[in-house]
Amino acid sequence: MTTLDPIALWIGGRAVDARSGRTFISENPATGKPLAVIQEAGIEDVDAAVAAAKAAFPIWSAMTGAERGRILHRAAQILRARNDAIARLEVLDTGKPIAEASVVDVASGADCLEFFAGLAAAIAGEHIDLGSAFAYTRREPLGVCAGIGAWNYPIQIACWKAAPALACGNTMVFKPSETTPVTAVELAKALAEAGAPPGVFNIVQGAAATGQALVAHPDVAKVSLTGSVPTGKRAMAAAAETLKHVTMELGGKSPLLVFDDAHVDNAVSAALNANFYTQGEICSNGTRVFVHRRIRDAFVDAMMPRIQRMRIGDPLDPETTVGALISRAHMEKVLGYVERGRTEGAKLLCGGTRVVDGACADGWFVTPTVFEAPDDSLTIVREEIFGPVMTLLVFDDEDEAVTRANATPFGLAAGLFTRDLARAHRVAARLEAGTVWINDYNVTPIEMPFGGVKQSGLGRENGLAAIEHYTQRKSVFVQLGDVATSFL
């Protein structure tokens, strides 16, 4: 039995029924029970959404940046006013604790809308003095942008993609993850109520086939995707057929380096955040925790009691600190990695089991898990698990730590803890990652660009850098004198 009303598509400024006639079920990860019936977009529905976005583009792009900014700012205010209700929907859809969703998910999305709302009026080109002539550049929007979201931060990711795209004058068709399809509609409603013209922001629901139709659509100019590396590669290949612009924020297996002069309690706090926040379902998580051999015991002694105090339970309970994984299949995948860690020789320090007691009986709950690995060859050290599984590794010197940290095809993020200022900046420069945190972890203010290197993606979200990925430059040359020619 579902607990929410059926959810339709959002096309041309209103909820519309899918022409495909197909539906799918979204489940509550904490109970394993159906949450809502979702209408699935077929090719005709994707065509309709793109057509609506294309029709709205001349209207939206002709507005001044200040006008667009006012609408985005009002949308942010609407989201903030509805924070509690949207956060509750996010919890039902994702299984994360309400203690997180109520202060992070909706609020960070609103932060993004506000940041780009303020920036919209300042998007400009440049003037180039050439003596008897001059040139100037115009920053122009790309057109219809496709946004493809992930299931760990649905409303935040929808805002992260919509805000810069819309601030720059583009329109968007957004496809949420089929696993968490509920809250993107709340953003669509907020934008409509704030005054966005119909078609500026559209939503198509569905799985891979829907995403493939959107990415391949000839009228889509840009694709921004958050997801796994294999999904990103497929989307990028499809986008290449029509030379679409792409931004890819993909997976990671990020290192967190704790040097022997680190503030141990702060480093432990960061390691816990980097592995167990949102049940470990964060792409930038620092799941390879490299600790200097001299402080290994102190680090573990400080960490273990704090893990034991974590509360696993009903995500709607404000006291819960660890919620449910997104699905049964994903839970089984995580537990499979746990078993692989055991069989390959890692020492299990805690956790590694499914929780089936009390409020957790019917959901997809896994205890916070810590392994200590003898070396970096183990599967749990090399592959992204995307669950509450930390791997502890010891090192002896800086060069060794950096070399091992970089020995991965991923490069989304990294972190380090040290009180040595020179070492902090030296190591940050050497780490192969799109984002490096010094004496903190997983802090992503909207003002700071976020994205990966190597197989963790390309392009950047947030900050001024995002403007580069949602606009194109046009150069205009102006001659002030006579035209020179060799043809007499």
Residues known to be catalytic:
161, 249, 283, 461
Q: How far apart are CA 111 and CA 123, in angstroms?
A: 19
Give me the sign of the Cα torsion angle 354, 358, 360, 365. negative
What are the C-alpha distances in Å from 415 to residues 83, 258, 402, 405, 483? 31, 8, 11, 10, 57
Q: What single letter denotes the amino acid at residue 230?
A: P
Length of the chain measured in residues = 488
144-148 and 220-226 strand pairing: parallel
Integer angstrom CA distances of residue 335 from 165, 291, 331: 38, 25, 6
CA distance 355 to 363: 8
DSSP letter at 195? T
Contact 180, 148 (CB under 8 A): no
Find the DSSP H helices in 168-228: 184-194, 208-216
Q: Which residues of 87-102 are buried (b: 16+ CB within 10 A; e: fewer)?
A: bbbbbbbbbbbbbbbb
CA 236/CA 223 separation, integer angstroms: 8
